[in-house]
């Protein structure tokens, strides 16, 4: 019930956009601990694990105690495995790999498996049901070498959670400056990116520039059918009319974007000759050496 509550709170806080160290800690354990612990509770619902006879070695059934420290350590390992498999399934299903989709999937796995584990535990005799107890003092005995190793894994997980919180706090101060630069089709639909155009036929792409550099920036945008800024001819780019692009000439434009601002630019273009081309778009951060680029495959039939 506790881990289910942690997962639900994490998903709710993330959907409300409440970004805080509390959310980072809860989200870390929701991803790297909760699903694995739910699976452990389902596989081992009691306080002992049953070791059945194998096909090769015939002996009477033996049971052994499953300690809490073993459950916790294996929960971290199982969570990584479960989330990796679930992520692959998510990317190939109807849901998108977004924070919302991941949160829903983690919550569904943890709650669903926990319900099955609770049902399995209630079917056990009361003497075999899992119970946790806290022993204070030396009466609990010393940890064995194996238990010390498992405890080290748990401590490492807690340290990683602390590092995640520290890095998040560092990110609140702005972090490393960067720029987002990408293209989509008209209306932001990547499926509408032009790929086949006749000679002289217009195609449209939406250029997106997002400034996270910490100050206003005037970007230098260059495009052409070669991945090189040293064109034999460089012409100004017009946003109001279609631009005819040839393999010999490039086009440029200056784009000013405020700090933490975004600019969406509709580029309408045509290709002047048949062939298979790559339309390269290069973005330079003002006078600095920082350069971003992307391209679009264009086929122009004869």
Confidence of residue 58 (pLDDT cuts 50, 70, 90): low
pLDDT, residue 114, reads 92
Any idea where the domains of the chain sit in the sequence?
2-132+143-172, 178-300
pLDDT tens, position by position, 114-166 = 999 888 888 877 777 666 655 545 445 565 666 666 667 666 766 666 665 55
* Per-residue pLDDT at 202 exceeds 90: yes
- pTM over the 0.85 mark: no
7-11, 13-17, 36-40, 293-297: least confident range: 13-17
pLDDT, residue 135, reads 53
Question: According to the 3-state scheme, what is the secondary structure of the chain?
Answer: CHHHHHHHHHHHHHHCCCCCHHHHHHHHHHHHCHHHHHHHHHHCCECEEEECCCCCCCCCCEEEECCHHHHHHHHHHHHHHHHHHHHHHHHCCCCCCCHHHHHHHHHHHHHHHHHHHHHHHHCCCCCCECCCCCCCCHHHCCCCHHHHHHHHHHHHHHHHHHHHHHHHHHHHCCCCCEEEEEEECHHHCHHHCCCECCCCCCEEEEEEEEEECCCCEEEEEEEECCCCCCCCEEEECCCCCCEEECCCEEEEEEEEECCCCEEEEEEEEEECCCEEEEEEEEEECCCCCCEEEEEEEEEECC
pLDDT, residue 53, reads 47
Confidence of residue 198 (pLDDT cuts 50, 70, 90): very high
Confidence of residue 54 (pLDDT cuts 50, 70, 90): very low
Look over the chain and give the mean of its residue pLDDT values, rounded to a whole number: 79
* Per-residue pLDDT at 108 exceeds 50: yes
CATH 2.60.40.10 fits 178-300, yes or no: yes
Average pLDDT for 32-48:
83
* Top-confidence residue, 46 or 217: 217
* Top-confidence residue, 257 or 83: 257
* Per-residue pLDDT at 179 exceeds 80: yes
pLDDT, residue 210, reads 92
Average pLDDT for 102-120:
88
Average pLDDT for 186-196:
88
Average pLDDT for 95-116:
82
- pLDDT > 90: percent of the chain: 18
């Amino acid at each position: 019930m506790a881990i289910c509550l942690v997962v639900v709170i994490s998903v709710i806080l993330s959907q409300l956009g409440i970004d805080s160290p509390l959310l980072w800690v809860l989200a870390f354990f929701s991803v790297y601990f909760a699903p694995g612990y739910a699976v452990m509770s389902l596989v081992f619902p009691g306080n002992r694990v049953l070791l059945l006879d194998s096909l090769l070695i015939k002996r009477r059934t033996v049971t052994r105690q499953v300690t809490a420290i073993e459950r916790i350590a294996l929960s971290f390992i199982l969570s990584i495995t479960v989330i990796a498999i679930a992520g692959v399934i998510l990317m190939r299903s109807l849901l998108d790999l977004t924070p919302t989709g991941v949160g829903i999937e983690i919550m569904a796995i943890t709650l669903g498996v926990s319900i099955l584990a609770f049902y399995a535990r209630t079917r056990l005799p009361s003497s075999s049901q899992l119970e946790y107890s806290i022993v204070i003092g030396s009466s609990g005995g010393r940890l064995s070498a194996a238990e010390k190793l498992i405890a080290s894994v748990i401590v490492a997980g807690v340290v990683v959670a602390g590092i995640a919180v520290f890095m998040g706090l560092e990110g609140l101060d702005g972090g490393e400056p960067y720029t987002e630069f990408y293209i989509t089709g008209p209306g932001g639909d990547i499926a509408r990116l032009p790929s086949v155009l006749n000679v002289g036929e217009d195609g449209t792409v939406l250029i997106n520039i997002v400034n996270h550099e910490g100050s206003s920036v005037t970007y230098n945008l260059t495009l052409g059918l070669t991945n090189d800024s040293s064109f034999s001819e460089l012409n100004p780019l017009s946003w109001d009319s279609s631009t005819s692009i040839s393999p010999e000439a490039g086009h440029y434009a200056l784009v000013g974007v405020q700090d933490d601002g975004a600019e969406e630019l509709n580029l309408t273009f045509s290709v002047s000759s048949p062939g298979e081309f790559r339309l390269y778009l290069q973005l330079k951060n003002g006078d600095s050496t920082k350069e971003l680029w992307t391209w679009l495959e264009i086929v122009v039939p004869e």
